[in-house]
Structure 1
Amino acid sequence: MTGDRSDGGRYGEAVFRPEQAGEGERIDFGALAYDGVTMARLHALGVGPGWRCLDIGAGTGTVSRRLLDEAGVAHVLAVDRDVRFLAERPVPGLEVREADITAPDFAPGRFRLVHARFVLMHLPDRERLVRALARLVEPGGVLVLSDAVDLTGDRAPRTPYSTAMRAMWQGLRATIGTDVSRVPAYPQLLRAAGLERVAAEIHVPPLLPGSPISRFWADTWERSRAAMLATGQVDDAAVDEAIRYLDSEDCAALAAGMLTAWGHRSAARPA
Structure 2
Amino acid sequence: MTAARHGDAVGDGRYGEAVFRPEQAGEGERVDFGALAYDDITMARLRALGVGPGWHCLDVGAGTGTVSRRLLEEAGVASVLAVDRDTRFLDARPTPGLDVLEADITDPQSVPGRFSLVHARFVLMHLPARDRVLGTLTELVAPGGLLMLSDAVDLTSDLTPGTPYSTAMRAMWQGLRDTIGTDVSWVPSYPRLLRGAGLVSVAAEIRVPPLTPGSPLSRFWADTWERSRAAMLATGLVDDAAVDAAVRYLGSDDCAALSAGMLTAWGRRPRESR
Q: TM-score range by the shorter chain?
A: over 0.9
Which residue does the alignment assign to 2:118?
Answer: 114
Question: What per-residue deviation string (whole Å, max 9, x for no partner) do you get for residues 116-174 of structure 1?
Answer: 00000001132222122111111111000000000011111111000000000000000
Whole-Å separation in 1 of the counterparts to 2:201 and 2:109? 29
* SS of 1:143 mapped into structure 2: strand
Question: What per-residue deviation string (whole Å, max 9, x for no partner) do you get for residues 42-74 of structure 1?
Answer: 000000001000000000000000000000000
* SS of 1:198 mapped into structure 2: strand
Which residue does the alignment assign to 2:5?
Answer: none
Q: Which amino acid aligns with 2:166?
A: S
> Does 1:205 find its partner at 2:209?
yes
Which residue does the alignment assign to 1:166?
Answer: 170
Report the CA distance between 1:6 and its aligned residue: 5.1
> Does 1:261 find its partner at 2:265?
yes
> Does 1:133 find its partner at 2:127?
no
Whole-Å separation in 2 of the counterparts to 1:193 and 1:171? 30
Please point out which of 43, 56, 69 is paired with 1:65: 69
* SS of 1:233 mapped into structure 2: coil
Q: How many residues were matched structurally? A: 266
Q: Which amino acid aligns with 2:120?
A: A
**TM-score normalized with structure 2 length:** 0.95
Q: Which amino acid aligns with 2:20?
A: F
Which residue does the alignment assign to 2:273?
Answer: 270
Q: Which amino acid aligns with 2:193?
A: L
* SS of 1:158 mapped into structure 2: coil
**TM-score normalized with structure 1 length:** 0.96
Matches within 5 A, 1:67-86: 67-86=71-90
Question: What per-residue deviation string (whole Å, max 9, x for no partner) do you get for residues 183-231 of structure 1?
Answer: 0000011001100000000010100000000000000000000000000
Compared CA separation, residues 8 and 134, structure 1 to 2 (3 A): closer
Report the CA distance between 1:7 and its aligned residue: 5.4
Whole-Å separation in 1 of the counterparts to 2:132 and 2:201? 20
Matches within 5 A, 1:43-58: 43-58=47-62
Whole-Å separation in 2 of the counterparts to 1:131 and 1:11? 20
Deviates more, 1:59-68 or 1:107-116: 107-116
Which residue does the alignment assign to 1:218?
Answer: 222
Whole-Å separation in 2 of the counterparts to 1:6 and 1:262? 28
Cα RMSD of the aligned pairs, angstroms, is 1.0
Contact 1:137 1:265 in 2 (8 A): yes
5+ residue gaps, structure 2, are: 1-8
5+ residue gaps, structure 1, are: none
Whole-Å separation in 1 of the counterparts to 2:245 and 2:32? 24
Contact 2:195 2:267 in 1 (8 A): yes
Deviates more, 1:101-110 or 1:134-143: 101-110
Whole-Å separation in 2 of the counterparts to 1:25 and 1:270? 42
Identity %: 77
* SS of 2:238 mapped into structure 1: coil
Whole-Å separation in 1 of the counterparts to 2:26 and 2:108? 32
Contact 1:138 1:270 in 2 (8 A): no
Report the CA distance between 1:106 and its aligned residue: 2.2
Whole-Å separation in 2 of the counterparts to 1:62 and 1:128? 26
